[in-house]
Amino acid sequence: MRRIYSILVLLLAGLQGYGQYILKKADLLYNQYKFADAIPLYERAYRQKISLHAAERLGDSYRLNNNYQQAEHWYGITVTLPGNRPQHRLYYAKALQSNGKFNEARQQYEAFAASDTTANAALVRAWITSCDSARTGWRIPLIRR
């Protein structure tokens, strides 16, 4: 019984080390600006162990590849994890806005402004106003001449 327990502990330790290897490989690719190549590794690392680092890097990688639907998904996860930063909420708001979710984006911009006291107030107001304008603009029919 003791032998089985020892083998199980060694296997689990090996899996933990393998997870760290995946994360380091993903970080290496990310730092080389190979965001698309890093995505599957970060996803595997996140599935093995939920972490802010992997979720943040997934959001960044998708955003930098202009995949705003996936960026929205991962930044949405990032803002719920402990230790998140105001920048995560800003990127989440921008992804929401890019996906046409103007009400949700507006809420996230407001939350960003509340969480980051150093944020440029005029710029945040402009982002919020752009959400309001886009939201009302979708309802106005286009008049063609």
Report the predicted TM-score, pTM, of the whole model to 2 decimal places: 0.82
Burial 63-102 (b: 16+ CB within 10 A, else e): beeebbebbbbbbbbbbeeeebebebbbbbbbbbbeeebb
CA 73 – CA 26 distance, rounded (Å): 19
CA 119 – CA 122 distance, rounded (Å): 9
Q: How far is CA 54 from the centre of its chain?
A: 9
Task: Judge residue 115's burial from the number of C-beta atoms within 10 Å of its C-beta, 0-12 exposed, 13-18 middle, 19 or more buried.
Answer: middle
- pLDDT, tens digit, 9 for 90 and up, residues 74-110: 999 999 999 999 999 999 999 999 999 999 999 999 9
Superfamily of segment(s) 2-137: Tetratricopeptide repeat domain (1.25.40.10)
Per-residue pLDDT tens, the chain, 145 aa: give them: 666 655 554 444 454 555 689 999 999 999 999 999 999 999 999 999 999 999 999 999 999 999 999 999 999 999 999 999 999 999 999 999 999 999 999 999 999 999 999 999 999 999 999 999 988 876 555 555 5
- What are the structural domain ranges in the chain? 2-137
Q: Contact at 8 Å (CB) between 123 and 109?
A: no
Which tokens hold the place of 27? 């970080």
